Structure 1
């Protein structure tokens, strides 16, 4: 990656996309933040998916979305499920950590929209950036 990047700015924009209510603005955020062929991989899929795969004698399948349209659908669905009702928002936890020159780790949690203690899901996303500072890969670990 050429030049330095602002890990906090990337983390703030990353979390903001999940909380954005306007689909047009959310789509624009995704197109600015992600490489055209960017991919998000859910590293540890939910238990029911792991069990279903094991029941069919398959290894745990990777769950991934690739490209702006698929990412837009993924982020929009998460918004609808967790944020749209107005009770919760996603928030960064602590400062992002630069792991390598083009890799940043972002911890996050779901908190009440009115503030307060974490209300549920949280996790860690490891974002690898391309030469333009856009997310090329996102490995998401949900706690």
Structure 2
């Protein structure tokens, strides 16, 4: 299965979904049961752990949203994309890029996240 750039938009939408039931449904639709997510701050496996990670980020950054910071680039079974996390209409204090790898059904099985800009600790 070839990954497509629109996968990045669906991925960011899942990270922005604040309703727990809707987020769980998006995660079930988009990710494999045994998805792995790794960035410099966390490494988790499984849909429930990913859901908990997303909820924790939303709690840490209330009112912030993920937005694509450029076009997604996809080939074979992977897609990479840059993103910003911040309040709408303001400079985003957090930015990074992710690489997502899909399985044969088009669901994301692996995410490798990188942080390019993070706020200084208070």
When normalised by structure 1's length, the TM-score is 0.75
Aligned residues: 116
Q: Which residue of 2 aligns with 1:135?
A: 108
CA deviation map 1:85-126 (0-9, x unaligned): x2x21101111011x31110011002322x24x321110100
Q: Which residue of 2 aligns with 1:55?
A: none
> 1:5, CA displacement in angstroms?
4.5
Q: Which residue of 2 aligns with 1:57?
A: none
Instruction: Determine the C-alpha separation between the residues in 1 that align with 2:10 and 2:59.
Output: 19
Rg larger in structure: 1
Q: Which residue of 1 aligns with 2:119?
A: none
Instruction: Determine the C-alpha separation between the residues in 1 that align with 2:3 and 2:66.
Output: 23
Answer whether contact 1:20 1:79 (CA < 8 A) is retained: no
Q: Which residue of 1 aligns with 2:22?
A: 25
Q: Which residue of 2 aligns with 1:58?
A: none
Instruction: Determine the C-alpha separation between the residues in 2 that align with 1:106 and 1:134.
Output: 16
Indicate the structure with greater helix content. 1
Mind listing any 5+ residue stretches in structure 1 that lack a counterpart?
46-62
Indicate the structure with greater strand content. 2
Mind listing any 5+ residue stretches in structure 2 that lack a counterpart?
117-122
